[in-house]
Amino acid sequence: MRQDEWPISIWKEKELLDGKVVDAGVVILQTSGCSHFHSGGCSMCGYNYGASESAKRTDIVKQFDTAVRQIGEVPFLKLYTSGSFLDECEVPSDAADHILRHCSDSGVRLLFESRPEYVTPGRLGNVLALNEKIEIAIGLESANDRVLKYSVNKGFTVADYQRAAELMNDRGVDLRSYVLLKPPFLTEAEAVADSIATIEHASKFSATVSLNPVNVQKGTLVEKLWRDWAYRPPWLWSVLNVLKTADTNGKKLVCDPTGGGKERGAHNCGDCDHVILDSIKAYSMSQDKSRLGSPECRCAEIWKSVMDLDGFVMGGTCDIQRHFRAKGRTS
């Protein structure tokens, strides 16, 4: 089989669905990439690194068929395209129709992602005619237009998100909103406050809110800042703080930090990271805030100082711990 007939990645993970933990299949399809990437892209997104401009309809259909054969029977399928499933330049409508029909016939709940500009009454109507058991994820990232414009370069506004969200609410389609924690140019404390406010705003329209702490991806502005010692991914203490504080009004809140515990992902000192990551996983699967445990660790004091002092330091505090770890490796 040719390389472009394989998805970028396939795996299974656990998902909380209707109060039960079930197996979910995850497929990342190789497409021509996100339309917004081709006009600049978001500051933290490196997902189009592997996107092939030449991916054609047949390839997407073959990739999907290969993926469902590999995954086998699951009640829930998450289909990622690194862009927008509803963008017909990225996923031609006949390929999208094939996928929607397959999931409808096999009774699988289908999650896919889209930027809000592709969630239009006409396109949503076409999709729902083929499959009503869908969930659409939109990366809102921040409910603050200044953060969207100057930190993320998202290319849409909060009002654009709201229009799509309200249309989905009207049509009875479940919305999953992605909320970013710590885009660049925010202090740690500003980032925590922004995520809490965004989760609370997104909860009004969403069935599920997913908190995504920024991780440093290849080829991004965030990576350049990180290499220049001008950016540190969020502390896991910040992730815990956001999850504990945000009021979701009974809506599901989940978090699975990509690269958690590593230098490029949300991390603490290295000693307490894994206990905290396990507690975040347990919370996401149970929605029980008492599971969000945090062991006593010396690094909590450093985090508290960063939360207090970051705003007084030009450009924010740099990652001193990373500097000394790097020094230890080279000497």
Chain residues that interact with Zn ion, rule: CB under 5 A:
268-269, 271-272, 297, 299
**Given CA atoms 156, 158, 160, 166 in this order, what sign does their dihedral have?**
positive
Kindly tell me which of 130 and 269 has the beta carbon lying closer to Zn ion: 269
Q: Which is nearer to Zn ion, 175 or 272 (CB)?
A: 272
CB of 9 to Zn ion, least distance (A): 31
Q: In angstroms, what is the minimal distance from the CB of 302 to Zn ion?
A: 8
Comparing C-alpha atoms, which of 181, 220, 22 is closest to residue 111? 22
In angstroms, give the least distance from the CB of 236 to Zn ion: 8
Of 312, 311, 303, which Cα lies nearest the Cα of 242? 303
The neighbouring-strand residues paired with 24 are 13, 76
Q: How far is the CB of 251 from Zn ion (least distance, A)?
A: 30
Of 179 and 299, which CB lies nearer to Zn ion in the complex structure?
299
Cβ distance to Zn ion smaller for residue 44 or 239: 239
Is-contact 177 135, C-beta < 8 A? no
* Two structure tokens written together for 162: 């709201």
Taking the complex as a whole, how short is the minimal distance between the CB of residue 271 and Zn ion, in angstroms?
Answer: 5
Task: Give the shortest CB-49-to-Zn ion separation in angstroms.
Answer: 31
Name residue, tokens 């006409």: 122
Beta bridge partners, 26, equal: 11, 78
CB-wise, 185 or 303, nearer to Zn ion? 303
- Based on its alpha-carbon atoms, the radius of gyration of the chain, rounded to whole angstroms, reads 20
Backbone angles phi, psi at 26, to 5 degrees: -125, 130
CA 130/CA 303 separation, integer angstroms:
50
Residue 252 CA to residue 199 CA, distance in Å, equals: 11
Residue 146 CA to residue 314 CA, distance in Å, equals 19
Beta carbons of 99 and 29 less than 8 angstroms apart: no
Nearer to Zn ion, 48 or 279 (CB): 279
Give min distance, CB of 179 to Zn ion, in A: 24
Nearer to Zn ion, 45 or 299 (CB): 299
